[in-house]
Amino acid sequence: MVKNPCQFFWAGIFFAFKLHNEKKILTYICWKRFFQMKRLLVFLVCFISYVVQSQTTEKTLLIKDADTNLPIEDVVVIIAKTKQSFVSNKEGEVLLSIKSPSTIQISHFSYQSETIRSITLKDGKNIILLKPNVNDLDDIIITKQHPQKILKSLIENSIKKLSIPARLKVYSREFFKLNGSYSYFNDGLINFQLTGQPRKIKTDILVEQNRFYGLMGDENLEDVLGYNLNNIMENYYEFKYLNPLLEKSALKDYDFLIKSSSKNSQNYIMTAKPVDNVKSVLDEFTIVYDYKHKVIIEASSTLSQATILRNDLKTFNGKKTYKSNFKTIYRMLDNDYYLVSSKEEIAFEKENKGKVKDIQVTNYLITSSFSKKGYTFKAEDIFKDKTLYNKKNNILSNYWEVSGLISTDEEEKIILSLQDK
């Protein structure tokens, strides 16, 4: 029995008030911990996302013709976000180095282009089937201007459109074959910094890494290689390989033709083939161009076998050339227009001291990354030689595995055999 009702009443009020405060405190603590956990969770999600995106993953593409199931060479693969470029080898294989999720553009002028997302790629080989559009090149374009005049205009506009200043990180590779056997190989990662203006390009070269194996013997480098790293970009950025088509004599020596494709309405294809009665050995040319932007997408030539059969091979500088091919590929991406790759092949016979030597040289340049940002360097670090042949090996990583052009199984065997010499 309660002795004092008033005391009981106030004790109840105190107890209720205390209980209410404890609940408020408990609620406050719970909400505080909730927000702390929420912030922690957001931080972890952001951190994991950053780690995942900052990790470089490697994925392999195997690109094939959708009709024949045969591998396609020289397919250009560009990771849009980072502007990394890759080119498929003879086996149609591409090894991608993906730094963050991105769309991937896959293109070849003879096929319909494809765009895929990097997150859809699986481990192992991802087979990509491209549908050919060559069979649709039936529409001959009738123009008011002669194709030669159109080509001159294309070259001038392409020179103006090429992105300068720019920095191209390029993978260079070269094979040298003497009398049917491979005797020398070199490759390297090279930075070409291009400055100046159209037709007045200045090139500074820095070699990051390089290696060479084998011996070239007593051959003169200038006679054999026929190119110079210090002006090769100038040649490509001024389209000097197309100069024979701009000469006045080309009007009578070549048949020009322009065709379009119904499945790639933006590109036209110009061909220039020697006429039947030409009395000299000439090249056959193919120029793929974007007629809307009026820029060259691809240019290639090959020594016309028909003219070789009708004419004797002429000896020039002691060399009798029986094979000569070149191919350059350019791309326009987000208003940036630049060289993606080049490939040159030459084969000739050369007489020296009564002996005839058969020499074949193949070289590649692949722009693995493009940037408008230049780099700083010391004047003494600039590479000034014509070739990497005499440069001491400097191997810091397996750069050739993520170079933009991976070796075929056959090429790997050749490199290993030369490495042992």
In tens, the pLDDT along 211-263 reads 999 876 666 555 556 568 888 999 999 999 999 999 999 999 999 999 886 66
Percent of residues, the chain, with pLDDT higher than 90? 55
pLDDT of residue 259: 87
Compare 42 and 219 and report the one with higher pLDDT: 219
In tens, the pLDDT along 189-214 reads 999 999 998 888 999 999 999 999 98
Q: Which domains does the chain have, with CATH numbers?
A: 57-132 (2.60.40.1120), 136-419 (no CATH)
Mean pLDDT of the chain: 84
In tens, the pLDDT along 358-404 reads 999 999 999 999 999 888 888 889 999 888 887 899 999 999 988 89
> Can you read off the two tokens belonging to residue 287?
């120029």
In tens, the pLDDT along 60-116 reads 999 999 999 999 999 999 999 888 999 999 999 999 988 889 999 999 988 999 999
Assess whether pLDDT exceeds 70 at residue 19: no
pLDDT of residue 278: 87
> Can you read off the two tokens belonging to residue 313?
């091979």
pLDDT of residue 50: 43
In tens, the pLDDT along 153-167 reads 999 999 999 999 999
In tens, the pLDDT along 128-154 reads 999 988 665 557 777 779 999 999 999
pLDDT of residue 273: 95
